[in-house]
Amino acid sequence: MSNKDRYDHQLDGLLNQIDRSAVEASDAEILEDAKLAGVDIEANAKQMRQRFLDTARAFHKRKFVEAKQAYANEVKDLQDRVFQIPASPTQQRALLQQAQKAMSVGAFRDFEGMPDSDLPALIEELYALGLLPPEDEKE
């Protein structure tokens, strides 16, 4: 098909050049364009700017609400999870041994000297952090 019959190219080429002239036009020229077209340039800008800002703010608000909801879901999920805590402190310490290699936080390393009453909470914390294998993956 020759360019003579490519009306799409011809129209696109023509509009591109008109676009170019508008893009490169001075502000004074554009103000005159708007005046001749019967457009109130200030009202047009005010309305468009507001629409864009509203859209942007609504979008960011939605993203914020989604992130907040995701966080709330995650917290609820953690609260709802039931961790299997071994009954005796000896068994609890044995379980903690499994996590020892993965632990790099100094405070946790000294669990041998921790009071028995703190052990279940530490186990829960380690489960939540993924440092202890889930029940069904244990050997």
Partner 1 sequence: MAKSTAGKVPEERAATAAEVEAAIEALSDADWYRLRDFAERRAFLLNEKARGRDLLGEAFERLLRGSRKWDKTKVGFLTFLYGAMRSIAYSWLKEKVSPTEAPLSASSLVVENEDGKLSDPVADFARASVDASQLLVYRESLEQIDALFVNDEEERMVIEGFRDGLEPPAIRDLWGFSQPKYNAIIIRMRRKMRRAGIADPREVSRHVQ
Which residues of the chain form contacts with partner 1 (CB under 8 A)?
A: 1, 3, 5-23, 25, 27, 29-31, 33-34, 36-37, 39, 41-42, 44-45, 48-49, 51-53, 55-57, 59-60
Tell me the C-alpha distance between 133 and 139, whole Å.
9
Report the chain's C-alpha Rg in angstroms: 33
Q: How far is the CB of 22 from partner 1 (least distance, A)?
A: 5
Nearer to partner 1, 22 or 78 (CB): 22
Q: Residue 139 corresponds to which tokens in the numbers above?
A: 């050997």
Nearer to partner 1, 44 or 90 (CB): 44
Tell me the C-alpha distance between 124 and 86, whole Å.
11
Question: By three-state DSSP, how is residue 6 classified?
Answer: coil
Q: How far is the CB of 4 from partner 1 (least distance, A)?
A: 9
Q: How far is the CB of 65 from partner 1 (least distance, A)?
A: 15
Nearer to partner 1, 31 or 85 (CB): 31
- In degrees, rounded to 5, the angle at the alpha carbon of residue 66 between the alpha carbons of residues 51 and 82 is 175
